[in-house]
Structure 1
């Protein structure tokens, strides 16, 4: 994945590994296991003046503190709304027998990230047939508009 936006873990391999602490950034949502799984927005990070994370309920309310090592915090997944293909070339790796299509993932909170959609040869063929039908339907609709 290329760039990620607020509320998404900035290091997925470390941040989402079970048992490892989550080190959120300002504005990220986090579950705090020490607070019964309550969800909070990170409003302050541990620093030389603050020895803990400060969280606030998303709708407002009383702030609370979480351990500065992130051991009680877990990321809150943000739902995906849709995925769009990017204007870059798709690549087929004949040795791996898979295609890679660059896409942008759009999240409910408005953020996005770039990644690749990996397809098997069968999936490539299926989607080519489906896209061919969409192109035919679009051409047919254009002819009826004339």
Structure 2
């Protein structure tokens, strides 16, 4: 009898409508496709008195306007600086042959997000070997420090 492997199903998420526009708020950074990907800070929103977004380069400079429907605007992604493991037990799903390691993702703006790092069984074995080498290197360094004394 052949064992069936279940695939990991994606988490349910809100569906974005086709052509959905980005609706930035005051102070948000936005990328404007109509201006060849120019980045600007939103300094004014569409209103009764203004029929468009007003943007300004982050370091100052000449303002420009973008469509009021936000169709040409895109959010500017914040870069990830690093990922750290959480102090929770990893879980191995033998049917999917995957491990789930709880981690925190740290962003450039100081924000964080808790998620999981999914590893295949082959990746778990590879990291087992690599971590074993790291532990051995750390022990060797510690022994060297103890023999040579404090700096």
TM above 0.5: yes
What stretches of structure 1 of length at least 5 have no aligned partner? Answer: 1-10
Q: Which residue of 1 aligns with 2:37?
A: 37
Q: Secondary structure at the match of 2:59?
A: coil
Query: Which residue of structure 1 lines up, in the alignment, with residue 9 of structure 2?
Result: none
How many residues in Structure 1 have an aligned counterpart in Structure 2? Answer: 134
The structure showing larger relative contact order (alpha-carbon pairs under 8 Å, at least 6 residues apart) is 1
Aligned to 1:20: 20
Give the superposition deviation at 1:50: 5.1
State the Cα RMSD in Å. 2.8
Sort the Cα spacing of 1:75 and 1:50 in 2 relative to 1 into closer, same or farther, 3 A: same
Structure 1 residues 12-91: aligned runs within 5 Å? 14=16, 19-46=19-46, 51-91=51-91
User: 2:83 and 2:114 mapped to 1: Cα distance?
Assistant: 10
* CA-to-aligned-CA distance 1:53-111 (integer Å, 9 cap, x gap): 33221111233332232211122233333222222222222222211112222334444
Separation of aligned partners in 1, 2:77 and 2:47 = 26
Q: Deviation per CA, 1:18-74: give whole Å up to 9, x if none.
A: 743222344332111222321112234445665533322111123333223221112
